[in-house]
């Protein structure tokens, strides 16, 4: 027990110390984790920790990441990506593999070694690249999207590669390879097809295909059919952690199923993510899985850093560095060439070229797998596979540096080319609407009918069912939770409309958003006058009293029915609104949430002054607001002659 705690503590403290420092220095979190791993590695060796097995465990973070990626990607978008996915991704993998295989034949004598090496280095690091793109907010850029297409294709391509590599085994070793095939302990987590347990082992090909297709169908159909009743069922318990448990259960279950039928768990969860991308539980799932993914990926990067064999590295430093730069150069050249064919331009071209030039975590998996399959020589006899692992790790270690090069050297050159006509930017970040009741619903209809993108969150399951029946898209989730706001995209949002019923929660939400996301404009519904002051004190400036407009209209309607001319009634109520808002603002300035209003001398004094001004109106005193609205239409003869108009404060102010 103490060992596990010690290990967990070591990994956590390394991450907690290294990542903020790396972020502060502009290196990004990935490099921070890698450096933490390097720093930890002597200690781990001393403790006799099996870093490799921890790495296999941590690879589950990649699975979770692909689930989250799938959640962001609706099936329609995936279909629209097909040209790039197959064309760009397919060409990248084939050309890179061919070139590197060709290059490798100069160094190794067996063509099967060379081909394996080609396959290993055709892959890039989904984990590092997606993490970095998200961190830098480049995911939605053209270069980011192209990179994502290629990474997705690579993740899928791992599956046939794992099937293909055993065929490369030398004929005399084939029997042994067959033997190891069934006992291979490694690579369950990320893409391993031949784990210990299997549903398809020993089945004839057609049955195997049938089971596989059945499993995929189960994920797709189950994802779209089962989620809703399941979430509604657990909503009964009203426990936060149950949602997390269900989300984890889903991801782990799908990964397990995929492993059992010999498919990539990453691919399976990605598929499940895509299926759920249209569901109203998308943001809830996202915020539940997100912390786990982050921690596991962090652990994964730490193990990459820790697994670097420094003895071997230093004894072959020149060779490793040369090979690493060679690989990066070849991969970058292929990517750069493809970016021309697929019309990726400007800064995006360089993002795409430099971003994907490293080898990836699947490289570790493939190398280990190839060794156990006797496709690559045993590390004890021949350091080839250890050297390859070093090159993969080293190229991953260099990736943050390539991104920094992009940020500092390339992006600034293209920055000016993208300035747009300031007046024509109608497309801004989305609007998050918290609460879709009678109030939030109308706000949503107005905003979305004007063509703005809205993300609506509501926490009432039954309300969601009603809305879905009318084709209104609302996500399930509690907007007062920071992680939920994050999942709904508060970082990119330009506005938050708070229309939730609970007064205190609304105020708290205002305080949180003003403090943590000052770029977000907040429109908030106030329940009553006191609530207005609390919201004002919390930093809200666009506060809408929920009953005010209705009451004003009722007042105006009453005036008309009392015989007042409709236009006079309009101006009368308009004057009232102006006056009332001024009073509200003046009182909000002196309101102190910690002191009851009647014990707040400034508040009492101002209120009295306003009450007096109302009394003036009652007595017909022209200095009050009622007179101002009639001013413009008084015939000149009624105005006071010889001196400036006494009612015009502007004149006296001048």
Residue whose CB is less far from another protein, 481 or 628: 628
Residue whose CB is less far from another protein, 240 or 631: 631
Give Cβ neighbours of residue 617 (< 8 Å, ≥ 6 apart).
Answer: 624, 625, 626
Give Cβ neighbours of residue 77 (< 8 Å, ≥ 6 apart).
Answer: none
Question: CB of 506 within 8 A of CB of 534?
Answer: no
Residue whose CB is less far from another protein, 318 or 636: 636
Residue whose CB is less far from another protein, 512 or 628: 628
Among 3, 423, 462, 594, which residue interacts with another protein (rule: CB under 8 A)? 423
Residue whose CB is less far from another protein, 442 or 578: 578
Residue whose CB is less far from another protein, 357 or 443: 443
Is residue 48 at the binding interface for another protein, with CB under 8 A as the rule? no
CB of 632 to another protein, least distance (A): 4
CB of 525 to another protein, least distance (A): 21
Is residue 628 at the binding interface for another protein, with CB under 8 A as the rule? yes
For the four alpha carbons of 183, 188, 194 and 195, in that order, the dihedral sign comes to positive
Question: CB of 140 within 8 A of CB of 337?
Answer: no
Span 485-514, contacts to another protein by CB under 8 A = none
Residue whose CB is less far from another protein, 48 or 636: 636
Is residue 654 at the binding interface for another protein, with CB under 8 A as the rule? yes
Q: Both ends of the chain: CA-CA distance in Å?
A: 81
Residue whose CB is less far from another protein, 414 or 548: 548
Is residue 417 at the binding interface for another protein, with CB under 8 A as the rule? no
Residue whose CB is less far from another protein, 82 or 582: 582
Cα-based distances in Å from 563 to 117, 250, 559: 91, 67, 7
Token pair listed for 284? 């809830």
Is residue 419 at the binding interface for another protein, with CB under 8 A as the rule? no
Q: Using CB under 8 A, which of the segments 187-195, 243-251, 278-286, 645-653 binds another protein?
A: 645-653
Is residue 651 at the binding interface for another protein, with CB under 8 A as the rule? yes
Of 94, 6, 84, 7, the residue nearest 53 (C-alpha)? 7
CB of 634 to another protein, least distance (A): 8
Residue whose token pair is 């209120």: 607
Token pair listed for 646? 């006494």
Residue whose token pair is 């690879």: 59
Question: CB of 409 within 8 A of CB of 433?
Answer: no
Question: CB of 334 within 8 A of CB of 96?
Answer: yes
Q: How far is Cα 18 from Cα 400, in angstroms, rounded to an integer?
A: 14
CA angle 18, 23, 29 (to 5 degrees): 70
Residue whose CB is less far from another protein, 163 or 648: 648
Span 173-212, contacts to another protein by CB under 8 A = none
Among 42, 515, 601, 644, which residue interacts with another protein (rule: CB under 8 A)? 644
Q: Using CB under 8 A, which of the segments 150-158, 221-229, 308-316, 642-650 binds another protein?
A: 642-650
Helices (H) and strands (E) in the chain, counts: 31, 6
Residue whose CB is less far from another protein, 183 or 640: 640
Is residue 622 at the binding interface for another protein, with CB under 8 A as the rule? no
Number of residues that bind another protein (CB under 8 A): 23
Phi–psi pair at 116, nearest 5 degrees: -60, -45
CB of 625 to another protein, least distance (A): 12
Is residue 382 at the binding interface for another protein, with CB under 8 A as the rule? no
Residue whose CB is less far from another protein, 547 or 652: 652
Is residue 642 at the binding interface for another protein, with CB under 8 A as the rule? yes
Among 578, 595, 604, 611, which residue interacts with another protein (rule: CB under 8 A)? 578
CB of 577 to another protein, least distance (A): 9
Is residue 631 at the binding interface for another protein, with CB under 8 A as the rule? yes
Token pair listed for 520? 């977000």
DSSP 599: G
Beta strands in 115-201 (DSSP E): none
Q: How far is Cα 654 from Cα 641, in angstroms, rounded to an integer?
A: 18
Is residue 636 at the binding interface for another protein, with CB under 8 A as the rule? yes
Phi–psi pair at 434, nearest 5 degrees: -95, 110
Is residue 639 at the binding interface for another protein, with CB under 8 A as the rule? yes
Is residue 446 at the binding interface for another protein, with CB under 8 A as the rule? no
Is residue 163 at the binding interface for another protein, with CB under 8 A as the rule? no
Question: CB of 587 within 8 A of CB of 603?
Answer: yes
Is residue 623 at the binding interface for another protein, with CB under 8 A as the rule? no
Q: How far is Cα 321 from Cα 181, in angstroms, rounded to an integer?
A: 33
Span 335-354, contacts to another protein by CB under 8 A = none
Is residue 574 at the binding interface for another protein, with CB under 8 A as the rule? yes
Rg (CA), the chain: 32
Is residue 547 at the binding interface for another protein, with CB under 8 A as the rule? no
Residue whose CB is less far from another protein, 72 or 570: 570
Q: Using CB under 8 A, which of the segments 8-16, 384-392, 473-481, 634-642 binds another protein?
A: 634-642
**Count of positions (residues) in the chain:** 654
Q: Using CB under 8 A, which of the segments 3-11, 311-319, 368-376, 627-635 binds another protein?
A: 627-635
DSSP 456: E
Question: CB of 303 within 8 A of CB of 58?
Answer: yes
Question: CB of 143 within 8 A of CB of 403?
Answer: no
Residues that bind another protein (CB under 8 A): 422-423, 574, 578, 628, 631-634, 636, 639-645, 648-651, 653-654
């Amino acid at each position: 027990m103490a060992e596990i705690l010690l290990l967990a503590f070591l990994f956590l403290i390394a991450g907690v110390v290294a990542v903020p420092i790396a972020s502060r220095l502009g290196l990004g979190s990935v490099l921070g984790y890698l450096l933490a791993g390097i720093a930890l590695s002597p200690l781990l060796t001393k403790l006799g920790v099996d870093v490799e097995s921890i790495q296999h465990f941590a690879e589950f973070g990649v699975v979770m990441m692909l689930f989250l990626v799938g959640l962001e990607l609706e099936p329609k978008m995936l279909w629209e990506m097909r040209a790039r996915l197959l064309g760009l991704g397919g060409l990248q993998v084939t050309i890179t593999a061919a070139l590197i295989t060709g290059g490798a034949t100069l160094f190794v004598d067996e063509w099967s070694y060379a081909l394996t090496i080609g396959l290993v280095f055709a892959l890039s690091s989904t984990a590092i690249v997606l993490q970095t793109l998200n961190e830098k907010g480049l995911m939605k850029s053209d270069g980011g999207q192209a990179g994502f297409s290629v990474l997705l294709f690579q993740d899928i391509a791992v599956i046939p590669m794992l099937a293909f590599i055993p065929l490369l085994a030398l004929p005399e070793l084939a029997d042994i390879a067959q033997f190891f095939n069934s006992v291979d302990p490694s690579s369950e987590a990320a893409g391993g097809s031949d784990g210990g347990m299997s549903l398809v082992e020993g089945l004839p090909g057609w049955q195997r295909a049938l089971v596989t297709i059945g499993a995929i169908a189960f994920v797709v159909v189950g994802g779209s059919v089962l989620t809703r009743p399941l979430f509604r069922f657990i909503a009964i318990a009203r426990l936060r952690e149950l949602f997390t448990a269900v989300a984890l259960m889903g991801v782990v279950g799908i990964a397990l199923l995929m492993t059992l039928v010999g498919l990539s768990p990453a691919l399976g969860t990605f598929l499940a993510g895509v299926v759920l991308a249209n569901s109203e539980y998308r943001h809830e799932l996202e915020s539940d899985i997100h912390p786990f993914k982050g921690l596991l990926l962090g652990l994964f990067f730490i193990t990459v850093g820790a697994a670097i064999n420094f003895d071997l590295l230093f004894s072959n430093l020149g060779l490793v560095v040369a090979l690493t730069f060679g690989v990066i150069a070849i991969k970058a050249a292929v990517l750069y060439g493809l970016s021309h064919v697929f019309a990726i331009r400007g800064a995006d071209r360089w993002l795409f070229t430099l971003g994907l030039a490293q080898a990836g975590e699947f490289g570790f998996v493939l190398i280990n797998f190839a060794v156990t399959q006797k496709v690559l020589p045993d590390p004890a006899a021949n350091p080839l596979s250890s050297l390859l692992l070093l090159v993969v790790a080293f190229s991953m270690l260099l990736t943050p540096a390539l991104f920094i090069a992009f940020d500092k050297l390339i992006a600034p050159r293209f920055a000016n080319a993208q300035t747009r006509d300031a007046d024509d930017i109608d497309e801004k970040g989305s609007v998050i609407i918290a609460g879709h009741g009678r109030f939030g619903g109308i706000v949503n209809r107005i905003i979305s009918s004007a063509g703005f993108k809205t993300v609506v969150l509501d926490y009432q399951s039954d309300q969601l069912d009603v809305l879905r029946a009318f084709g209104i898209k609302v996500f399930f989730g509690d907007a007062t939770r920071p992680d939920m706001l994050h999942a709904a995209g508060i970082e990119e949002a330009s506005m938050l409309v708070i229309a939730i019923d609970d007064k205190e929660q609304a105020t708290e939400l205002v305080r949180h958003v003003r403090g943590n996301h000052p770029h977000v404009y907040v429109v908030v519904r106030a329940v009553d006058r006191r609530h207005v002051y609390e919201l004002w004190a919390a930093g809200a400036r666009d506060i809408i009293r929920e009953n005010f407009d209705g009451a004003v209209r009722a007042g105006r309607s009453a005036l008309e029915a009392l015989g007042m001319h409709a236009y006079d009634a309009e101006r009368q109520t308009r004057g009232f609104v102006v006056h009332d808002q001024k009073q509200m603002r003046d009182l909000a300035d002196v309101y102190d949430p910690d002191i009851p209003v009647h014990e707040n001398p400034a508040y009492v004094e101002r209120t009295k002054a306003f009450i007096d001004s109302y009394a003036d109106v009652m007595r017909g005193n022209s200095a009050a607001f009622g007179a101002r609205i009639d001013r413009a239409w008084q015939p000149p003869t009624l105005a006071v002659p010889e001196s400036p108009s006494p009612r015009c404060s502007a004149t006296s102010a001048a």
